[in-house]
Structure 1
Amino acid sequence: MRVLFSVSAWPGHYFPMVPLARALGAAGHEVRVLCAASQATSVQAAGLPAVPVLDGLDMVLQARLSHFWQAQAGDWPYPWLPVHPVTGQHLSRLEDFDSAAYRAEHRAAALAATARSFDAAVRFATGWRPDLVVHDRLSLEGVLAARVVSVPAVAHLWGPVGTAEEGALRLVPGDPTRSFARHGVAELGDPPFRTVIDPCPPALCPPVGAAHRLDVRYVPYAGGFGGSCPPRPRVSGRPRVCVVWGTSLTAMAGARSFVVPEILAGLTGAGLDVTVLVSAADAAALRVPPATTVFSDVALASALSGADVVVHHGGAGCVMTSVAAGVPQVAVTFAAEQAANADRVAATGAGLHVRGGDFDAGAVRAAVTDVIADLAYGRAARWLRDQNDRRPTPAGLVARLEDLAGARAPASG
């Protein structure tokens, strides 16, 4: 069968889909990935054929705008103002960005780009004729393409936030361009997704409403950006802590959200063996305390081997990779989705959540030492790992998708 993947313009949204796309290819099926031009290199690095025809939304800009509007509404919990949505520099006052003028100037162009993206997806799908479409929950181009060619569409989650959330977590875009009507298919509807692939273990399963849930094991994929962590001898008597911080949070929330220096200062003197994973630029600017080793371009999954606790910003990739490794987590969060991820892990007993609005290096140190001292956190983390390991592998999900697409005759009784 032919399977068309449709992805939004953010690698973390589709990296969890890569193992499934590879499994489909290994099973002899044809795979194509609709993406924005900005994502073509990442898609191709995964060994997947990219079709870079979408006009992907600028996810960093969208996040910055969201943060600005939260601050305007008095719902910004941090002691600093958000960054300027366009320049990325921290604002001294909200009046320094005229959001009404920005909307008036850019709305028409944004709607035109969205319509072009929908049209490009339909053009490719009508020419290639897929049997099934798999998409992330922000790539509605996949939903439209599937409806136009009358094949099933399956949403693939990237972490513990689902398709039937409330409030700020309800990250399902609409169709302001009326592209569904233009192409003669039913309106998007609410909920828009009928089938959802969920990589979360049962204790973390997010709400998907009335959609049919397909379980799959979370398999970490780092995008080819990181090698293996070099083996290091364990220091006797020192628990090992892994601190990982990507660049996306800084891009979206500003430099003040990069709290790794404060975290490391807080952990100094606690008798810990600390491994830090940050970008090369961030590593060059760090003052490295004793008993701390810094790596760049290392995959998190390899660095978690032997770790007693991991500290991160709550991103879905960090959360789910830590779940798959069975390592308890301390999340320091600066955005609504990351906070939800952290809360849901904490609710299982596999970690603690330190909210960025209340950030204090001492609070992070206390959380880390609590997780190490209380063995229940480690047991809960291993329980989540075991739940993940019992789920169908991506290869094991292929037959279910074949049945869904009608590309494989059901087994006779």
Structure 2
Amino acid sequence: MLFSVSSWPTHYASMVPLGWALGAGGHEVRVLCAPSQTDPVVRAGLRPVAVLDGMDVAVHNRMSYVREALRGQWPYPWPPLHPLTGAVMSSLGDFDLAEYRRTVGREYARRAARGHDRAVRFARRWRPDLVVHDPVSTEGPLAARELGVPSVLSLWGPVGTHEADGPDILAEDLSGSFERYGHGPFGADSVEYVIDPCPGALEPPVRAARLPVRFVPYNGGGVAPDWVDVPGRRPRIAVTWSTALTTMSGPASRVLPRIVSALAGLDAEVVLTGTADDVASLGRVPERVRVLERCPLLALLAHSDLVVHHGGSGSTMTALAAGVPQLAVTFASEQARVAERLSGTGAGRHLPGHLATGAAIRAAAEELLDGPGHHRAAWRLREDNLRRPTPVRLVDRLAQLARPARR
């Protein structure tokens, strides 16, 4: 089984338990990745093949935000960041798209072509029977087509391949490698199978054959203190924030101090887990707030009554698996779509970033803590997740798909 992943660990974190299940079932697994992902893949207990190249994920995401803004789909009152530099733009005119295509875009295409060629060469040599890839890695499905084996897209959360009005989670084939190899253009309709970890209430729109699986959280390594496993005397609010949010969305997304300040005034225990940079951005931490650096989120949520995050699929799905109500403060269209779907189940609330005042954050948190309906809805999502096939059972289904290729 060949995995193909992007250069952003949260994009493929949901694939890690499947990699474990495949290995435990006696299947060989290799992970095509960029050199920057060698250490994260090794730490996850999987075997990397560091041959991929192309556009950095931060540039890819910022570029997608600019495309959304040009289509009139950008939901925030400020323009996106400059795709290449990450600088704040006064208007979309600050980015010369035509000049980009003539210069930097060509270099990204050349690098992407090199990564696709390396992926195909490795696949021809190693001969996988099936390929699993995340939405941002197009090298895997190209290798699968070259070998004539099944290709499976692994979704990371409740945004699908065929959203009616965006966002588009699939990466563009910048290098035209699919056509270069004679397979026609790559797009959403090229996807054959989709691994979907979402309960029915959050089911994203796809047109490929759907392979349901239970979401099993993988939040990386880390050690949780003993008190995390003991219920507090007051409600516990967990706060987790994206370490890359400012890189993707700019200074407007620096609302973590505002969130912590708003929650610190509640009669609750507030626990923040983040990086050293996250903590440094707070300045003086309020006395009622506990800080944990790089504590795995699932460990913290076992005895939490509410979690506040940025709407990322990893945080959303981990909280779903724990059965905890959620408040999502979002700064990008994909996170907004995730938060909207979650809010529709009754298990959470969505605050678009430009509306996230201290008063709004506090009011939403109080509503989620005090409303028993939100807790019941969150628990229903947890129960629905537990009824789905485990990654171990999904291995059997993938093995069935691979058998014709082996013959």
TM-score (norm 1): 0.92
Equivalent residue for 1:300, pick from 294, 297, 300? 297
1:114-263 equivalences in 2 (<5 Å): 114-188=112-186, 191-209=189-207, 211-224=208-221, 226-231=222-227, 234-236=231-233, 238-263=234-259
Q: 1:99 to 1:190 in 2, by over 3 A?
A: closer
SS in 1 for 2:29: strand
Q: Deviations over 1:351-404 (max 9, x none)?
A: 110111222111111111001111010001011001111111111211111111
The 3 A distance-change label for structure 1 pair 162 and 359 is same
Give the distance between the partners of 1:73 and 1:150, measured in 2 at CA: 36
Measured in 1, the distance between the counterparts of 2:295 and 2:214 equals 23
Determine if contact 2:159/2:169 at 8 Å carries over to the other structure: no
User: What is the CA distance between 1:269 and its match in structure 2?
Assistant: 2.4
1:252–1:188 Cα change, 3 Å: closer
Cα distance in 1 for partners of 2:335, 2:346 equals: 17
User: 1:91 corresponds to which residue?
Assistant: 89
Structure 1 residues 235 and 392: CA distance shift in structure 2, 3 A: closer
Over 3 Å counting, the alpha-carbon distance change for 1:76 and 1:150 in structure 2 is closer
Aligned residue for 2:276? 280
Determine which of 309, 313, 335 is the counterpart of 2:310: 313
Structure 2 residue 260 is the aligned partner of structure 1 residue 264? yes
CA contact (8 A) 2:152 2:195 kept: yes
Q: Within 1, Cα distance between the matches of 2:17 and 2:188?
A: 29
Asked if residue 23 in structure 1 is aligned to residue 49 in structure 2, the reply is no
User: In structure 2, how many angstroms separate the alpha carbons of the residues matched to 1:26 and 1:372?
Assistant: 40
Kindly provide the CA deviation profile for residues 266-285 of structure 1, in whole angstroms up to 9, marking residues without a partner as x. 22322111111121122133
| Cα distance in 2 between the residues matched to 1:79 and 1:146 | 42
- Aligned residue number for residue 67 of structure 1: 65
Partner Cα distance (1:229, 1:56) in 2: 40
Equivalent residue in structure 1 for 2:39, among 37, 41, 55 = 41
The CA deviation at 1:229 is 4.5
Residue range with higher mean Cα deviation, 155-164 or 80-89: 80-89
Whether the 8 Å contact between 1:77 and 1:357 is mirrored in structure 2 is no
> Kindly, what percent of the aligned residue pairs are identical?
50
**SS in structure 1 opposite 2:3?**
strand
Call closer, same or farther: CA 1:346–1:99 in 2, change over 3 Å. same
**Do the aligned partners of 1:156 and 1:196 also contact (CA within 8 Å) in 2?**
yes
In structure 1, what is the Cα distance between the partners aligned to 2:213 and 2:403? 20
Kindly indicate whether the alpha-carbon contact (under 8 Å) linking 1:283 and 1:295 is maintained by their aligned counterparts in 2.
no
Deviation at 1:208, TM superposition (A): 1.0
* SS in structure 1 of the partner of residue 116 of structure 2: helix
Unpaired runs of at least 5, structure 2: none
Give me the CA root mean square deviation. Answer: 2.1
When residues 74 and 406 of structure 1 are mapped into structure 2, their CA distance, relative to the original with a 3 A threshold, is closer
CA contact (8 A) 1:229 1:299 kept: no
Correspondence for 2:384: 387
Deviates more, 1:387-396 or 1:169-178: 169-178
Distance 2:186 2:99 in 1: 29
**Conserved 8 A contact 1:307-1:327:** yes
Contact 2:309 2:327 in 1 (8 A): yes
Q: C-alpha displacement at 1:65, in angstroms?
A: 2.7
CA deviations on 1:273-306 (whole Å, 9 max, x unpaired) are: 1111121122133221232111111111111121
Q: Quick check: 1:359 aligned with 2:352?
A: no
Q: Retained in 1: the 8 A contact 2:54–2:109?
A: no
Q: Deviations over 1:210-238 (max 9, x none)?
A: x11111111111122x32244156553x2
1:274, 1:75 → 2: CA distance?
35
Give the match's secondary structure for 2:360. helix
Letter in 2 for 1:114: A
For 2:211 and 2:165, the matched residues in 1 are separated by 25
Quote how far apart the aligned CAs of 1:130 are: 0.5
TM-score under structure 2 length normalisation: 0.93
1: CA distance, partners of 2:25 / 2:362: 47
CA contact (8 A) 2:129 2:405 kept: no
Contact 2:162 2:188 in 1 (8 A): no
C-alpha separation in 1, matches of 2:220 and 2:231: 28
Task: Report deviation, 1:263.
Answer: 1.1
Q: Are the equivalent residues in 1 in contact too, given 2:329–2:353 (CA < 8 A)?
A: yes
Q: Which amino acid aligns with 2:286?
A: P
SS of the aligned residue for 1:398 comes to: helix
CA distance in 1 between partners of 2:345 and 2:387 (Å) = 17
Q: 1:373 to 1:22 in 2, by over 3 A?
A: same
Structure 1 gap ranges (5+)? none
- Contact kept in structure 2, 1:54 and 1:120, CA below 8 Å: yes
Q: Distance in 2 between matches of 1:143 and 1:72?
A: 29
CA distance 1:191–1:261, shift in 2 (3 Å): same
Q: Secondary structure at the match of 2:189?
A: coil
- State the partner residue of 1:331: 328
* C-alpha contact (below 8 Å) 1:9/1:57 kept by paired residues: no
Deviations 1:70-93 (A, max 9, x none): 456665444544333333333355
Cα separation, 2, equivalents of 1:189 and 1:269: 48
SS in 2 for 1:402: helix
Structure 1 position 368 matched with structure 2 position 342: no
